[in-house]
Amino acid sequence: MADTDPPRDDGTTGDEETMYGWRVRSVRRALAERDLSEGELTVEDLTELGHLDQYHYFGPAACDEAAHVLGLDDAETAGASGEGSSRRVLDVGSGVGGPARYLAATTGCAVHGVELRGELVSLARELTERAGLADRVRYTVGDAAAVDLPTDGYDHAVAWLVLLHLPDRASALKRMRRAVRPGGTVLVEDFTLGDPTPAQERALQNVVDAPNVVDRATFADEFRRAGFTGVGTCDLTDAWTAWTDARYDRFRERRAEFTAVHGTETYEARASFYRTVRDLFAEGAVEGGRVTARVPPAAGTDAATDSLPLRDRSDSRLDARDLSGILEGGRGD
């Protein structure tokens, strides 16, 4: 972010502590309140933490939809393994590991999470081990634009609310393209640009840490330039506008609870961030979008080349989800 504070004793800056440190503490506090500081965990124990476990919009409900679109929930492949099984997933920007654990537990796939923040990866590994999923979920600390990934090493790649933060999105997309096997698929949900004022553009860069958000058509073209084919888009703006409004209201309701743990300064910083994002959506400065795409199939194969969604042609089922239920840790069914 711009205008960061000097480094702290733990090597983080004040802004980084505000953005990330409170989340690690909040996860540990929420588990302690449930008498779950030690010992085995279930994925349900963690998803019940709501936005702390999965802080992309709609949490487990978005994972359910991604699994449906990509075919990860297909009963015919749910127990499959090995080279042609379409079960290896790359999660770019994996945070504390909530989506990776959820997908592995609910679909049986193997997930490799890549996350820039080392403190988030440390917690992700701990929680994944306690949830009994370390044999199927692993994490790497790395920059999505530079991390070393195996060529053709994955069948799918997913990213939720990550690419907007990358100053070098083109390199990250090319790296994803090389990492996903021929005929494999990707699903990305992210901000796209609406009609912002100059002040809103500054807020995107300085508050949201989103240096180069582009409109939906340009965003889709970035995937094509990276070598993807069958690129399709889905408008999530209405759902995300409602989500960001509900998140801000819920956060304000919990002011006293949050401040008691993290202090007034961190509360005000988070409230300002949530309010800014809510206003950007409400005022049409930004939009929500999903891009789905394929890696071109190998020459001479009969692999599909059509656009995604593969299994559900409807735009999105997120609008029908219960926002309060998801914020409280449910799937919002």
Report yes or no: 259 and 205 within 8 Å, Cβ to Cβ.
no
pLDDT at 77: 46
Would 167 be classed as within a structural domain?
A: yes
Would 2 be classed as within a structural domain?
A: no
pLDDT at 300: 60
pLDDT at 321: 64
How many Cα neighbours within 13 Å face the side chain of 137? Answer: 29
pLDDT at 278: 97
pLDDT category at 89 given cuts 50, 70, 90 is: very high
Question: Of 111, 95, 21, which is closest to residue 57 (Cα–Cα)?
Answer: 95
pLDDT at 86: 54
pLDDT at 333: 57
Q: What are phi and psi of 115, to 5 degrees?
A: -145, 135
Question: What percentage of the chain has pLDDT greater than the value 70?
Answer: 80
- What is the distance between the alpha carbons of residues 157 and 188, in angstroms, rounded to a whole number? 8
Low-confidence winner among 24-33, 134-143, 174-183, 322-331 (lowest mean pLDDT):
322-331
Would 75 be classed as within a structural domain?
A: yes
Cα angle value 49/119/203 (rounded, 5°): 80
Would 6 be classed as within a structural domain?
A: no
On the question of pLDDT at 74 being above 50, the answer is: yes
On the question of pLDDT at 8 being above 60, the answer is: no
**Comparing 202 with 71, which gets the higher pLDDT?**
202
pTM for the structure as a whole: 0.87
Low-confidence winner among 99-103, 255-259, 290-294, 320-324 (lowest mean pLDDT):
320-324
Would 237 be classed as within a structural domain?
A: yes
Average pLDDT, the chain: 85
Would 8 be classed as within a structural domain?
A: no
pLDDT at 84: 41
Would 223 be classed as within a structural domain?
A: yes
**Comparing 311 with 71, which gets the higher pLDDT?**
71
On the question of pLDDT at 259 being above 70, the answer is: yes
On the question of pLDDT at 201 being above 50, the answer is: yes
pLDDT at 76: 52
Both structure tokens of 236: 């999530």
On the question of pLDDT at 302 being above 80, the answer is: no
The CATH number given to whatever domain includes residue 251 is 3.40.50.150
The single-letter code of the amino acid at 300 is G
pLDDT at 205: 94
Q: How many domains does the chain have?
A: 1
Task: Summarize pLDDT for 9-57 with one digit per residue, the tens.
Answer: 333 334 445 457 788 988 998 899 999 999 999 999 999 988 889 989 9
Highest mean pLDDT range out of 8-17, 46-55, 81-90, 188-197? 188-197
For the chain, how big is the Rg over CA atoms in Å?
A: 19
Mean pLDDT of 311-316: 50
Question: Of 245, 232, 253, 140, which is closest to residue 189 (Cα–Cα)?
Answer: 232
Task: Summarize pLDDT for 163-174 with one digit per residue, the tens.
Answer: 999 999 999 999
Would 116 be classed as within a structural domain?
A: yes
**Comparing 152 with 325, which gets the higher pLDDT?**
152
Residue whose pair of structure tokens reads 């990550």 in the numeric block? 162
Which range of residues forms the domain containing residue 215?
A: 14-327
pLDDT at 31: 95
